[in-house]
Amino acid sequence: MDMKQDEITTLHDLCIDKKKLMKTVSDAAENRPVSVIMPMLYREIKNDALEDIIKGLNKCTYLNEVVIPLAAKDEKQFRQVKRFFKSLEIPNLVMWCNGPKVEKVLKELKGSGLDLLKYRGKGRDVWLAMGIASLDSYAIALHDADVLHYDKMIPTKLLYPIVEPELDFKFNKGYYARVNIEKRVIYGRVFRLFLHPLLRAFVDNMGYETEFVRFLRSFRYPIAGEFALTSDLARDVDLPGDWGIEIGIMA
């Protein structure tokens, strides 16, 4: 395990007492309610991973709500997704982000000078969902709908540094090793072969390392889609309206 601490605090998954961690988050959530946002496309209901995600979320009884911002082609797809999530026992809301009701609200906002209709993508959908989730939650965890080998510890570990009063972090980004021993495959190619060399090239070409580039390079996997933050930060943060939310939220 790489124990090197760079510019950011890293809480390693080392000898964690899972039951104790679950209890800590559950107890803290009584005074600091928490929610999960899981953006998805319609086609993702066919992913095998989603069944495990629902099972894992059902074990997170401390959750106040699960908000599912959905991109669907028509009402039939929207209703099909709603039926699919009937097995999710946690209070939940499937939000049809490109549906007529949301589009109507966005047109009203455009009339007031805020044009969100020109954006299409995960960023806008998450921004809309954060508005809902932040109403009754102190902290919000976010992850995708295609996480493999999902279990209850994923949202729990994301939320722990936020809701634990002695830590009191405002933002947390998840990381896990992109290695499959059985298949002998190393994943994370976008970071290893593109983003990491790109950030290194910035430093080499400029002759120095800016604080922002140093900040990005401090993350083990800066484009990870799992993160958590406080609701007040969620209301103030500037999110990219397209598909660059994973790294854009850190800007």
Q: What is the pLDDT of residue 1?
A: 47
Report pLDDT digits (tens) over 29-47.
Answer: 999 999 999 999 999 999 8
Cβ neighbourhood burial of 103 (10 Å; 0-12, 13-18, 19+) = middle
Instruction: Please write the tens of the pLDDT for every residue from 62-90.
Output: 999 999 999 999 999 999 999 999 999 99
Clarify whether residues 179 and 74 are in a common domain: no
Residue showing tokens 């709908």 = 145
Q: Which whole number is the average pLDDT over 189-203?
A: 92
Q: Residue 175's Cα: distance from chain center in Å?
A: 12
* 11 within domain boundaries: no
**Is residue 206 included in any domain, yes or no?**
yes
Segments forming the whole domain that contains residue 214: 175-223
**Is 63 a member of any domain?**
yes
pLDDT digits (tens, 9 = 90+) for 169-189: 999 999 877 788 888 888 888
Tens digit of each residue's pLDDT (9 = 90 or more) over 237-249? 888 877 688 888 8
Residues 132, 206, single domain; the answer is no
If asked whether residues 166 and 185 sit together in one domain, one would say no
Instruction: Give the whole-angstrom CA distance, residue 159 versus residue 154.
Output: 9
Residue 241 and residue 119 in contact, taking contact as beta carbons nearer than 8 Å: yes
User: pTM of the full predicted structure?
Assistant: 0.92
Per-residue confidence (pLDDT) for residue 4, from 0 to 100? 61
How many independent structural domains does the chain possess?
Answer: 2
Which residues lie across from 69 on neighbouring strands?
A: 95
Contact between 186 and 170 (Cβ < 8 Å): no
